Structure formats: structure tokens, C-alpha cells
Amino acid sequence: MTDIWYTFGAMVADPGFFPVIAKVNPTFTLIKMTVAENDGPPAIRPAAGYLEGDTTTALRRAFRDYVGANLAKPAPVISLYTAAKFSQLSKTLSTFHDVFTFANRAFVKAGGSKMSSVAMLIAMGVCLLDGQLATAFRAGDKPLPGDTVALTAEFGLQPAEFIMLQAWLNDGDFNTAQTNLMSAACWTTAPCLEDFVFYPGFKRAVN
């Protein structure tokens, strides 16, 4: 999971990722799907679709190569899962690019740089995806409920990075970015917020 947090954060810090996605143009073919979980009511999954193995793999490698050439090291290994999720979001969320435009604007205002540490990019990515954690970071450097480890210690953030992260999280453009991202059908219309299933031949993301 760390690698998808990292990739979201890296895409905030460096808009150069979008030409990489456009060049690969990963294939994600929407399909009609209705799912009933645990005898619950049927739910339509508007973001369900077929992944294509070659372009999903190509996107993973393109992310890896771009990170290796342009961002701070050592970066986590980027998984097929991350490439698949980006393939899905880029084809099913019309405001996907806007998410990172707004988030990058807030990041620049906070004094951020694309050469930010890997720890900083991971913290940014998870905050973009997890509103509760973003709220916890805004509140200060305290352990999460029931824990004893401060957030900066868990993520490996330096004091100056924590100050920058808080400035970013408190910017209105960050809120706009997060609202756009969380409007994706893969989360808003699924009984389970994250449901990813591989079928024979590696072709389906079900959300």
C-alpha cells in the first residue's frame, strides 16, 4: 500500500507524471457490473472494467523509470496494483487531473519541491486518500488514538517537513483536491470503499 501513497504524493509534487500517463495511455474498458455482497442488495459498479495486462505493466514501468530519473531516492517499488488503480481513475474520474492541479498549487504555496523526501511524499499521498489521517496531521504531532507513536515518527518526517505538510493540508486547494478525488465512482458507489479483484489473465478491477 505504501507505493500507492507514494505515487499519489509524487504526482502532487511533480506534474510531469501526467505526460507519462498520457504517453502510455493505459487501457481500461468499462463493463456493466452489478454486485451483491454478503446477501446485501445489488449494487451497480459504474467504475468496473477490464484492465489490459500489457499497458498496465507498461504504466508501472513508466512510473518506475520516471521516479528513478526525477525524484528523490530510494523510492518504493511501484506495484501493478498502483498502475491498475491509476488506469481506472484516469478513465473513470473526469476531474482526475484537476485533483493534482489543485493539490500541487497548495503544495507550491506551502514551499514544497518535487525533490521532497520519500517520507514526505508518502505522507502527502496517504493524507490525500485518507481524510481522517489528514485531520490528525492538522491537529498536531500526536499518536493516533490507541497508539503511542507520534505521526512524524511513524512517517519519518523532519520538523520542517511537518510544518510544510500542515500548511499544505490547511490550504483550501488541498480540500478541493481531496473532494474531487473522493468523488470517484470507485469509492462513492461501492459497498466496500476498496475492492480489487484479479481474474484469470489479469483483466478486471472491481470497485
The string of pLDDT tens digits covering residues 127-185 is 999 888 999 999 999 988 899 999 999 999 999 999 999 999 999 999 999 999 999 98
Looking at residue 56, its pLDDT comes to 95
pLDDT at 27: 94
Task: Report the alpha-carbon angle 103-106-111, nearest 5.
Answer: 125
pLDDT along the chain (207 residues), means of 10: 94 94 94 81 88 95 96 94 94 94 97 95 94 92 91 95 97 96 81 49 53
| pLDDT given at position 94 | 93
The pLDDT assigned to 16 comes to 92
Residue 155: HSE in the Cβ half-sphere, 13 Å Cα cutoff? 29
**Using CB atoms within 10 A of its CB, is residue 141 exposed (0-12), middle (13-18) or buried (19+)?**
middle
pLDDT at residue 67, as a whole number: 96
Provide the H-helix boundaries in 93-171: 96-109, 118-129, 131-139, 151-155, 159-169
Q: Which residue's C-alpha cell is 505521526?
A: 151
pLDDT of residue 203: 57
